[in-house]
Amino acid sequence: MTAYTARPIDATALKELRTTDDAGRPCAPYTATGTDAGSPLRCCLRPVEPGERIALVTYAPLRRWAAATGATPGAYDEQGPVFIHPGDCGGPAPDRDIGVYPFARPGARRTVRRYDARGHIVGGALLELPEDTTAAFDTALDAAFADPAVELVHVRALEYGCLLFEVRRPERG
């Protein structure tokens, strides 16, 4: 098995989203309430805590990846809501382990959506997380990247369809 890295929204995209989101709306920070508690923050890959400042913005992850790689996702270019901190939060904890996946609780259902170099969907899988969430993600990602056409994977929450994190193909050796 390969160790995979769950990627947060990158710093350049975050800087832009903190001004104007991918739907052209200004960032509108607010103070998280108990209703927001536990929602996934895509800037630092941890749950929202009541009382902290957050923003809900529209994010188009595939569009941004395509702009950097020259891919042409066409109709696969989706956008959706994500929670971020409206100011610099430092990103994921520096001592975060490679191969430890955020927002992984037993019983949660995730989709593992595969994309090729064009940015087109080339497959996917439904994943209901067992007690050993790390092994389940490792197995799903091994299966995804066993297809040489797969360049990146989006892990999404099944219930809301929102992007939780991205995993890119490890360097080809």
Distance from CA of residue 25 to its chain's centroid? 21
Number of folded domains that form the chain: 1
Whole-angstrom CA distances from 129 to 54, 86, 112 are: 27, 31, 12
Contact 69, 118 (CB under 8 A): no
Contact 169, 150 (CB under 8 A): yes
pLDDT value, residue 23 = 97
Residue 95 placed within a domain: no
Residue 94 placed within a domain: no
Residue 96 placed within a domain: no
pLDDT value, residue 114 = 98
In this prediction, what percent of the chain has a pLDDT beyond 70? Answer: 95
Torsion of CA 20, 21, 23, 28, to 10 degrees: -80
Domain limits for position 85 = 11-89+101-168
pLDDT value, residue 98 = 57
Instruction: Extract the residue ranges of the chain whose pLDDT is less than 70.
Output: 1, 95-99, 172-173
